[in-house]
Amino acid sequence: MTEQTPATAGIPTVRRRGKQTKFIIGGAVIVAAVAFLIYSSMGGSTLFYMTVDELKSQGAEGVGKKVRVAGLVVGDTIQWDEKKLDLRFEIQDAGGRLAVAYHGLRPDMLQDAAEAVVEGKLNSQGIFEASNLMLKCPSKYEEAATKQASSSNQ
């Protein structure tokens, strides 16, 4: 027989264990839900970052995989259809050129030799279908900021 103190007198031991079990199960459910949310949010944001050469060297394996590719815009290949919001251009790096098709608004900074990062998939015709297009700021802004900082320090 278990010895009961005045504080626990009249409270069966089974009832306390039932409350502890409910608390443990509830905590486990919350931890599992948080773990699932973290796992599911990370899956959509992780993309392989590749060069043009790496993507092309994959051949048929690279078709349909969602990746990020960086390169310099080839200015004379830019084709913009304002009515259809259809943008086509090529990017290049040391490994070669890649044709890009993008549906959406044309970025103002899209010009020859602009640094572009495109997210999307390579189709079977060898055209990269971009779902997202990002352009890095031209270095002239960095130079201007450096000059302003040095003149304000004097």
Domain ranges of the chain: 11-46, 48-139
**What pLDDT is stored for residue 4 in this prediction?**
55
- CA geometry: angle at 42 spanning 37 and 48, to 5°? 165
**What pLDDT is stored for residue 61 in this prediction?**
82
Sign of torsion, CA 101 71 134 139?
negative
At the topology level of CATH, where does 48-139 sit?
OB fold (Dihydrolipoamide Acetyltransferase, E2P) (2.40.50)
- Looking at every residue in the chain, the average pLDDT score rounds to 82
Q: Is the pLDDT of residue 21 over 60?
A: yes
Q: How confident is the model at residue 82 (pLDDT cuts 50, 70, 90)?
A: very high
**What pLDDT is stored for residue 56 in this prediction?**
85
Report the DSSP beta bridge partners of residue 81. Answer: 86
